[in-house]
Structure 1
Amino acid sequence: MATTRRPATRKAATSRKPSLRVERQLQRDGHRVLAGMDEVGRGALAGPVTVGVVLIDETSRSAPTGVKDSKLLTPAARVAMVPKIRRWALDFAVGHASPAEIDEIGIIAALRLAGMRALAAVGTVPDLVILDGNHDWLTAPDEVGLFAFADESGPVTPPVTTMIKADLKCSSVAAASVLAKVERDALMVAAAPEHPAYGWEENKGYAAPEHLAALEAYGATDLHRRSWRLPGVAGENEGAAPAGLPVDDDETGAGTAAGATPETSAEMIAR
């Protein structure tokens, strides 16, 4: 009697644990030292945008059990994973770009600034950066085609490869996302007592209901991205970009609230 095999569900496909399969293939292609990189805070209304980087080489063993994209871990599990990742990685770092820097140069350039700060903090120059997503925000437009980490004029981005859902596939990228998320969350929790109405200890600066209500009642703080058209804030953001939907990179999904995008698509590409 013939049997029918049920097709794999989307849930089953996305629940597969990240591994070093992709990294090992890249190493066989000649990229010995790899940097997994991921960002958090891109869609928040307040606080920095943060980039984590984790370096591995051919001697690195499988990642610690439980390493996965930070959005799939509880806060306690993420914190517990940090020392394990630090022991496992060849090197690691986290870089930030402040709300003021985001306002000054835009979110895409701020992402690059945070990423370059993270790379500058590690002691080894990677042969290749694995970047989550399909957009290389790390390489400045005038550096496309350059493959040296530094030259006479200053830092130059190392080679970059992008991969959609790299945080679900690559252990190095998943580990970087955990480091970035834990450090950024800690910064927002530390800032929360100075601005208690906004609920940052819970929402971490994303557009949760209590955060939106406080914005409407009290306005923006110095940790808000004032160049954005902040929901409920009138008058402070004249000339800001049209409202829309920011990237949701928070496990609560709070970052998807309408009315909080920093730039139009054209402006983001231009940066």
Structure 2
Amino acid sequence: MKQETIAVIKQHLFYETPNDEWIASLRLDERKGVQKILTQYDKQIEQHAQLEEAFKASLQFEEQWQAEGCEFIAGVDEVGRGPLAGPVTAAAAILPKNCSFPGLTDSKKLKEERRDYFHALLTEQSLAYKVVHIAADQIDEINIYEASKKAMQQAVEELGVQVDALLVDAMSLPLPLRQLSLTKGDERSASIAAASVLAKVERDRYMKQLAENYPQYGFEKNMGYGTKIHLDALERFGPTPEHRRSFSPVQQCL
């Protein structure tokens, strides 16, 4: 019987759905190339199992409240407090029960490709989600902390669902809802992690679009943070309407 080529085996293992009997037969294949691919496959399966276990653990707060009768539990997070330009962005998200998003965590720990991957899943599968931008002029008017809080509150209020409880990343919101403020919540709660990814991806896309209007500031790479290219452009061209004039490096250029 003709043996399958290494390329065919690799395709079947990593891009299709191999059955256990076929994999067991591969383990008897003495070719070094086949055994090497099997080692890679086993490692990938183990890593995926670890991610699934970690995601399951990150549902502990949601599951506890669901057991107490809460149906719609929203995770809330914000991104963009530190940049010199662009909005502060918040998101609220309600995940479906018994969901599984292995690898979902704090958006800062994910590469852009993975953030985009999870963003697509979350916008499709979340029971409800809302992303809110608070612009630079409002940040200057009420300060960045209050603007962050306003964005998060507005995201919850505009979910379109009567929320039962909130899991919020390191903040309490002035809403008459049961809520839990979690330090490093985007690492500890799946719902907050979902909100973190939604907010991060939407804000990054906003800044990349902004870069088309103001290419000299490098917004598509620095997302409004004070990199050397950004600071040099500020000094040379001055601030745009998207810059936060209450932030010290921008004030110095006025």
State TM-score, norm by structure 1. 0.69
Query: Superposition pairs for residues 87-236 of structure 1, below 5 Å?
Result: 87-133=124-170, 135-136=171-172, 138-139=173-174, 147=176, 158-230=177-249, 234=252, 236=254
Q: Which amino acid aligns with 1:49?
A: V
Distance in 1 separating the partners of 2:145 and 2:67: 32
Distance in 1 separating the partners of 2:244 and 2:69: 41
**Alignment partner for residue 98 of structure 2, among 53, 61, 64?**
61
- Which runs of 5 or more residues in structure 2 are unaligned? 1-53
Distance in 2 separating the partners of 1:123 and 1:234: 42
What is the root-mean-square deviation in Å for CA atoms of aligned residues? 2.1
How far apart are 1:77 and its partner, in Å?
1.3
Q: Which amino acid aligns with 1:65?
A: P
Q: How big is each residue's C-alpha offset from its partner over 1:139-163, in whole Å with a ceiling of 9 and x where there is no partner? A: 2xxxxxx62xxxxxxxxxx333101
Partner of 1:34: 73
Q: How big is each residue's C-alpha offset from its partner over 1:204-245, in whole Å with a ceiling of 9 and x where there is no partner? A: 0011121111112222111000112126x5363xxxxxxxxx
Q: Is the 8 A contact 1:20 1:62 kept in 2?
A: no
Q: Is the 8 A contact 1:60 1:90 kept in 2?
A: no
Q: Which amino acid aligns with 2:130?
A: A
Q: Is the 8 A contact 1:52 1:176 kept in 2?
A: yes
Structure 1 pair 178–235 and aligned structure 2 pair: CA distance change class (3 A)? closer
- Structure (1 or 2) with the greater helix fraction: 2
Q: Is the 8 A contact 1:95 1:116 kept in 2?
A: no
Partner of 1:47: 86
Structure 1 pair 235–76 and aligned structure 2 pair: CA distance change class (3 A)? closer
Identical-residue share of aligned pairs (%): 38
Q: Which amino acid aligns with 1:207?
A: G
Distance in 1 separating the partners of 2:147 and 2:83: 13
Q: Is the 8 A contact 2:238 2:253 kept in 1?
A: no
Distance in 1 separating the partners of 2:180 and 2:103: 25
Partner of 2:27: none
Q: Is the 8 A contact 1:35 1:55 kept in 2?
A: yes
Partner of 2:39: none
Structure 1 pair 235–217 and aligned structure 2 pair: CA distance change class (3 A)? closer
Which stretch of structure 1 is more off in the superposition, 74-83 or 96-105?
A: 74-83
Moved over 3 A (4+): none
How far apart are 1:171 and its partner, in Å?
0.7
Distance in 1 separating the partners of 2:178 and 2:134: 22
Distance in 2 separating the partners of 1:167 and 1:115: 14
Distance in 2 separating the partners of 1:172 and 1:207: 30
Query: Superposition pairs for residues 76-87 of structure 1, below 5 Å?
Result: 76-87=113-124
Distance in 1 separating the partners of 2:82 and 2:162: 29
Q: Is the 8 A contact 1:19 1:62 kept in 2?
A: no
| Matched positions, count | 202
How far apart are 1:84 and its partner, in Å?
0.9
